[in-house]
Chain A
Amino acid sequence: PFQTTDDAYWSRQLVAVGQERDKHAFEALFRQFAPRIKGFLMRTGLSPAMAEDCMQDVMVTLWRKAHMYDPARATVTTWVFTIARNRKIDMIRKARRPEPEDLPWGPEPEPEQADALALQEDTRRLAEAVAQLPDKQRKLLERAYFGDVTHSEIAAETGLPLGTIKSRIRLAIDRLRHAME
């Protein structure tokens, strides 16, 4: 019933898991994201069995970390991507991958509705730009994310609107910093 791209909806579900430990919201998130996480992990080269194990770990982590999700700084899909990527690396290395220190919440974690919506909109535009890339550039991007090649000029060469997202997130971070002062 829900579009895959309905970020605002999935964001509310994830916030409900974080704030109320809502199991129904979690099940909805599972049905939506579990098959996509598994598909993504298989694209990156994991066997179906490893991808299944990794996906289940990712969903458990999503439950455990949901209260740290900030819709003004990442869409649900982006957030799920970071968890899946880190979990995959942990599995391969058999050690926990170092992650940046999480930003502390202010005393009253007020979700900034307008910030969150604007970020969802920007992220949507980025996804559309990715979908419309010429084949060659898209392959380059996929090689970087699905393979083992890193490429420093992908953003520059492809003209993807990464800058707008960066500025949006920077604003959200600044707001968070000020809330703590």
Chain B
Amino acid sequence: MKLGYDMNVQHPITDDLLMGYATGGLPAAQDLIVATAVSLDDEARARLAGFDALGGALLEDAEPMPVADGALNNVLERLAASAPEDSVHADIKTARRDWVLPRPLRDAVGGDLDAVRWKSVGMGVKQCVIDSSPDGTVRLLSIPAGQAMPDHGHGGSEITLVLQGAYLDGDLRFARGDVEVASEGDEHMPVADLGEDCICLVVTDAPLRFTGLVPRIAQKFLRI
């Protein structure tokens, strides 16, 4: 198993998602997958910082507006009760451990992989829905090594980030840190690579359409 955070990502997250995160224009469901992917890919982290710098340039350019009377005093009073955020030491410790789930995902799940409350959805596939709202569903999927995902098309976009193991999709192999974006209408059949179960974070913004009968039943349980 390849863990750690300085990895050689083959299929990096795309610029439009990074820029969407930088501008604050993404739906909440996609913010989590971007923050998690960036945690695993230093090159993406640097690209995101470039888009942040663009935001900084626009902030610098914005016309200053007078602040409320007493704003500074108000803030100074609040500082007295505001301890520095204790994440320096925490981060040093966490970096030395090989987490499977990067921090934004650990925060969402309430711990690392052992804290995930999986639900079996048949055929050995397990899922855990982290969040579901009108603008998207975020779930963890676990697919047994060597097994295919049900054949499916998409009613909307689907963003997949691999956290453990790998899967094959046609000629392409997606491993930890890799991101695949499938659009509306794409049909594909990812197969978990041999070796270990493949665990992915998947964001969909509309239900998936499974094409076979058995998968149609699975869809009821998966609710994707």
Report yes or no: A162 in contact with B51, Cβ–Cβ below 8 A: yes
Q: Is B54 an interface residue (CB 8 A)?
A: yes
Give the docked Cα–Cα distance between A102 and B84 (Å): 15
Q: Is B217 an interface residue (CB 8 A)?
A: no
Interface size of A in residues (CB-CB distance below 8 Å): 86
Q: Is B115 an interface residue (CB 8 A)?
A: no
Give the docked Cα–Cα distance between A81 and B218 (Å): 44
Determine the interface band of chain B, counting residues with CB < 8 A from chain A.
35 or more
Considering the complex, which residues of chain A in the window 143-181 have a beta carbon less than 8 Å from any beta carbon of chain B?
144-146, 148-152, 154-155, 160, 162-163, 165-167, 169-170, 173-174, 177, 180
Total residue contacts A-B, CB cutoff 8 A: 221
Which A residues touch B74, using CB under 8 A?
56
Q: Is B6 an interface residue (CB 8 A)?
A: yes
Closest chain-B Cβ to A65's Cβ sits at a distance in Å of 5
Partner of A155, one of B5, B15, B58, B68: B15
Contact with B along A89-105 (1 / 0, CB 8 A): 10001010111111111
Q: Is A112 an interface residue (CB 8 A)?
A: no
Which B residues touch A131, using CB under 8 A?
61
Closest chain-A Cβ to B215's Cβ sits at a distance in Å of 30
Which A residues touch B108, using CB under 8 A?
98
CB closest residue in chain A, given B25: A150
Report yes or no: B67 in contact with A52, Cβ–Cβ below 8 A: yes
CB closest residue in chain B, given A123: B53
Q: Enumerate chain B interface residues (CB-CB to A < 8 A).
A: 5-6, 14-16, 19-20, 22-26, 28, 31-32, 35-36, 38-39, 42-43, 45-68, 71-72, 74-76, 78-79, 82-85, 87-88, 91-92, 94-95, 102-104, 107-108
